[in-house]
Structure 1
Amino acid sequence: MSEKILLIDDEVDFLSAMSERMKARDMQVTTASSAKEGLEKVSAESFDAVILDLAMPEMDGIETLKILKEKNPDLQVILLTGHATIKQGIEAMKLGALDLLEKPADINALTAKIKTAQARKMLIVEKKNEETIRKIMATKGW
């Protein structure tokens, strides 16, 4: 099953190069060149993972991460940065980021993180489905 990824970065050249590399690894990639556009796409469809640039104009990655996690706490988010501080990394992890990778991200390391994100998402979905089935079974007098 191919991973469904949303890549959010204001650097258009990076966005197209990275999405091509991910597509070459059989991932379904949707791109957004701003945090606002990315938030709209997350509201419209489901993704296995969101790859999010930390430094963007208008709204940075930390602010975007907060909004993403408020809307969907189970969303798997991996932050990318060209110049991360330890403080930003710690804040991102506290807010629920799966990881923080430095740019230029090694495609193999990023692919491994995406596969981890997809596996985590599948476990969360399975648990929710089991809970729903248990509630249905408990309320029906079969």
Structure 2
Amino acid sequence: MKILLVDDEVELVSAMAERLQLRGYDADWTDSGDDALVMARTCSYDLAVLDIRMPKISGLELKRRLFELCPSMKFIFLSGQGSESDFKEGCAGGVCYLIKPIRIEDLVARIEEDATHGGDQ
């Protein structure tokens, strides 16, 4: 499974990528929504893990744009300060929403669930 991690907190997103790679996942990361879109045009990702609140492009907007590029991509949202409306929109269509700080085991469990059950959009 090829995973794209996007979060404006560089230390967090790079550590997540490293921990996922140690568990056998092929994980790329970026701290920019614009860079994520470029990456998605050049590489086929199965799953994107997106921070809800980022500068320039929110996670919700980034999901919409990534979904246009790759309709089969699955999504997991992360947030440390999401509003109730973010939560409701993020969870629409069965998309998972995890609250920071996240435990890597919780993220891996959600990734496995999406891989096993196909996830919903």
TM-score (norm 1): 0.76
The reply to whether residue 56 of structure 1 matches residue 47 of structure 2 is no
Matches within 5 A, 1:48-87: 48-87=46-85
Which residue in the other structure is 1:106 paired with? 103
Give 1:109 shift: 1.1
Which residue in the other structure is 1:131 paired with? none
Give 1:37 shift: 0.5
TM-score (norm 2): 0.88
Which stretches in structure 2 are left out of the alignment for 5+ residues? Answer: none
Matches within 5 A, 1:6-45: 6-45=4-43
CA contact 1:77–1:97 (8 Å) conserved in 2: no
CA contact 2:46–2:72 (8 Å) conserved in 1: no
Structure having the higher Rg: 1
- The DSSP-based 3-state class of the residue aligned with 2:101 is coil
CA RMSD of aligned residues (A): 1.8
Number of corresponding residues: 119
Structure having the larger proportion of residues in helix: 1
CA contact 1:49–1:118 (8 Å) conserved in 2: no
Which residue in the other structure is 1:4 paired with? 2
Give 1:120 shift: 4.4
Which stretches in structure 1 are left out of the alignment for 5+ residues? Answer: 122-142
